[in-house]
Amino acid sequence: MSTKIRLAALAITALAGLATVATAGETLDRVMNNKVMMETTDRAYPPFSYIDDKGEVVGFDVDVAREFAKRLGVDMKVETPSWEIITAGNWKGRWDICVCSMTPTKERAEVLDFVLQYYSAPAIVVVNADNNDIKGAADLNGKKVGAQAGTTYEKYILKDLVIDIPGAEKVTYPFAEVTPVPYDSEDTAFQDLALGSGKRLDAIVSNYLTAIDRVKKAPDKFKIVGDPVFGEPIWVSVDKGDPEWQAKIKEIFKQMSDDGTLKALSEKWVGRDITTKQ
């Protein structure tokens, strides 16, 4: 190989290396340059994220994301598109992070990166308070069962849920078939269940930590039945392909875990510590 060809090859290799460096931290660079982090989450998932009486998005997830942004040295903005849009991935810079109570699944892992688990929660069955036929998931066969579209709960009633992380428990289905009723929002699902057993719904599959809040507020309308149907590990998710951004998230979440901030926020919103030690 001539000296000129060798030098040209080295130059191409160097340029390729520079291009890799330039694009490797795209999300982190954008957040730090704009001094704003875009958080995306659900608009109707209390106590984790919901719209309050002032029209503001509040909740455990929102406070965790805000504290993360504060330690990063940037402001935070929140957007609440539909859950199906969030989980579809390919955000293309619209959002930077989803501290949004998301469970890793095989399909989601194809379009999103899951960075770390920050809490865990059981999934349960909720029925109308006047229902005495459904005592657990085994009694759901042939029933109209609601769940928010695009969630692990919808996947569960479709018997198509795979939680794709090491050590995750295998999901089992004690029922044959149900009539799945998907909703854009859990708010609407609970409104329909409140009308009475069998009118629009017989049951809902939901997160215990969100359902218990609704049950406590309306014990004459709802009750939780049976044992948890599966355990949900909840992770922070981001768009694909920025290891520097993911490393920064892990670094700051460890600080928030070590100094008790995550625990304090959990106790504020949930009443107990459900967080995962980082």
Q: Per-residue pLDDT tens for 200-241? A: 999 999 999 889 989 999 999 999 999 999 988 999 999 998
Determine the Cα–Cα distance for residues 176 and 163; give it in Å rounded to an integer: 20
Question: What's the burial of 134, exposed, middle or buried (CB within 10 Å: 0-12/13-18/19+)?
Answer: buried
Model confidence at 271, pLDDT cuts 50, 70, 90, reads confident
User: What's the whole-number mean pLDDT along residues 84-111?
Assistant: 94
Average pLDDT, the chain: 89
The per-residue pLDDT for 94 is: 96
DSSP state for residue 58 in the 8-state scheme = E
Question: What's the burial of 10, exposed, middle or buried (CB within 10 Å: 0-12/13-18/19+)?
Answer: exposed
Residue 19: pLDDT over 70: no
Q: Which of 173, 174, 204, 175 is nearest to 187 (CA)?
A: 204
**Are the beta carbons of 208 and 273 closer than 8 angstroms?**
no
Q: Which of 144, 156, 155, 161 is nearest to 84 (CA)?
A: 155
The per-residue pLDDT for 168 is: 73
The per-residue pLDDT for 219 is: 96
**Are the beta carbons of 81 and 68 closer than 8 angstroms?**
no
For 111-129, what is each residue's pLDDT tens digit? 999 999 999 889 999 999 9
Helix (H) or strand (E) holding 267: helix 261-269
The per-residue pLDDT for 89 is: 94
Determine the Cα–Cα distance for residues 75 and 60; give it in Å rounded to an integer: 17
pTM of the model: 0.75
User: What's the whole-number mean pLDDT along residues 75-87?
Assistant: 96
Looking at the chain, which runs of residues are DSSP E strands?
Answer: 36-40, 44-45, 49-51, 57-58, 75-79, 98-102, 112-128, 144-148, 179-183, 203-207, 222-239
Model confidence at 167, pLDDT cuts 50, 70, 90, reads low
| Domain at 121-232: CATH architecture | 3-Layer(aba) Sandwich (3.40)
| Domain at 24-112+237-269: CATH architecture | 3-Layer(aba) Sandwich (3.40)
**Are the beta carbons of 72 and 28 closer than 8 angstroms?**
no
Look at residue 195 and give its three-state secondary structure: coil
User: What's the whole-number mean pLDDT along residues 31-49?
Assistant: 95
Retrieve residue 50's tokens: 């919901």
Determine the Cα–Cα distance for residues 10 and 1; give it in Å rounded to an integer: 12
Instruction: For the chain, give every residue range classified as CATH 3.40.190.10.
Output: 24-112+237-269, 121-232
Sign of torsion over alpha carbons 105, 106, 110, 116: positive
**Are the beta carbons of 44 and 185 closer than 8 angstroms?**
yes
